[in-house]
Chain A
Amino acid sequence: MKVFCRGPDPTNYIASKALNCLNELGFKDPRISLLKVKLHLFLIGLAVKDRGGLRDIEKEVSSEIQLIELCKAEIDDEEVLKLIDLEIAFAITMSSKITAKGLPTLEGKEPINNHHVVISLLEGKCLYLLDNFLADQDFERAKVSLLICETRIKSKDISDASKESIVEAIKVFQKYECIKLEIRAHICLAKLNLM
């Protein structure tokens, strides 16, 4: 639905309907809870991608995260819980990136530099989880590295480590045949070399 529908509304409707359906069934099962978490994350993804009302994004993301926390209570697998935490941290980062970028335009003020907020969220939360609990998640690490690198390029705050991490990310994207992400990573590398 997400791919084929033109607007986010029908997709949102279907995802909400699926969630209602699961709630009505009333099962206490970790797999059902995980499915609910995924649907909530899907709704966050739609909200962030749609970027309709910037203020609504923050509200929607925080309310979905609250619901995810409720579902988490029914899951006991530690690795799955850490992966959910990682997804939540990533979602918060993306939403804060978008809202902070858009708010000055709404209020008619000078753009605020929120790059350090995004980088601190990515490094402080996402990389921390990946380093300490999810060492085998190479794709997730590559995703985070790419976002850190892109943000650092924008804030002109690069280091040698940025280049190394983006080279590693390119290898991972090649391995999983994610062509679009690989191209973005190559663009990042080119920009790093030019700087």
Chain B
Amino acid sequence: MVANRNEPEMIAFPTEADMPALELKKTKSKHRRKSARKSMLVLESNFQPGRYFWLQILVLKETELLFRPAESVRAHIHMNLDRELMEVEMQKFEYMSLMSLAMLARLKAMHAYSEKRLENSAICEHGLWKISKYNAIYANYLKHSDSLECCHEENIRTPGDLLSLFERHENNFRSCLHTSILKKLVQEDGKWSSLSIFINSSPCRFKKEAYSYR
């Protein structure tokens, strides 16, 4: 799978010329005609840095494939985060936040959790754990929750379906905790104010302006 970074909104499928094929070239040898054994094969790579996206392709079900970015490649890309990648990271954070809110909502709707009184987690939605209405991500979720197809009621019917969805995205959730990336994002001017909107702050009287976003 190849993603052309010059056209960020399009996923370009590889043409033959783009494919990272290894061309086999036979070098000329003085003794080529004399002995085929002496001919040498030179491997010439057509890789061009920055144009490829390495994926692990996993088969979850018979009819379902999961394309997961290879972690090593991701780490390499993140060594030199440019502005475009930072924007992508921010979009990922936002999407993962929306997805977790949607998953929690489905979890609550199905009562598929242990409702202990000392829950102390995002399952709780009262007291200290209440999400502020001024949180831009939460407000965005409330506005657009219907458009999150992955968590629609018809797609997620059982706790097993929810578990499957979680497993598909577990790596993405874990990757949100990469300190080096967060530090780079924060160092970038103005990114802290954007990052701070992901922090769920409770019933709090923290200033409304702190949650302004976009």
Interfacial residues, chain A to chain B (CB-CB below 8 A): 1-4, 14, 17-18, 20-21, 24-25, 27, 29-32, 34-35, 37-38, 41-42, 44-45, 48-49, 77, 79-80, 83-84, 86-87, 90-91, 94, 134, 137, 139-140, 143, 146-147, 176, 178-181
Contacts and interface: CB of A to CB of B under 8 A. Distances in A.
Contacts of A27: 186, 192
A20 B179 CA distance: 9
A31 B210 contact: yes
8 contacts: A21-B182, A31-B201, A37-B128, A80-B204, A83-B128, A90-B118, A134-B127, A181-B115
Contacts of B186: 25, 27
Contacts of A42: 120-121
B111 A139 contact: no
Contact of A21 (B107, B116, B120, B179): B179
B129 interface: yes
Contact of B196 (A29, A84, A147): A29
A175 to B, nearest CB: 11
Given A3-B113, A34-B202, A79-B205, A87 B121 contact: no
Interface residues of B, number: 39
B21 to A, nearest CB: 40
Nearest to B129: A38
A79 B203 contact: yes
Contact of A25 (B118, B120, B179, B206): B179
Nearest to A3: B113
A129 B111 CA distance: 30
Nearest to B120: A45
B122 to A, nearest CB: 9
Interface of B: 107, 111-121, 123, 125-129, 163, 166-167, 173-174, 177, 179, 182-183, 186, 192, 196, 199-206, 210
Contacts of A34: 199, 201-202, 204
A83 B127 contact: yes
Given A179-B111, A180-B115, A31 B182 contact: no
Contacts of A24: 179, 183
Nearest to A44: B120
Contacts of A2: 121, 123
Nearest to B104: A3
A18 B177 contact: yes
Looking at A44, A134, A143, which has the most chain B CB atoms within 10 Å of its CB? A143
B177 A83 contact: no
B24 to A, nearest CB: 46
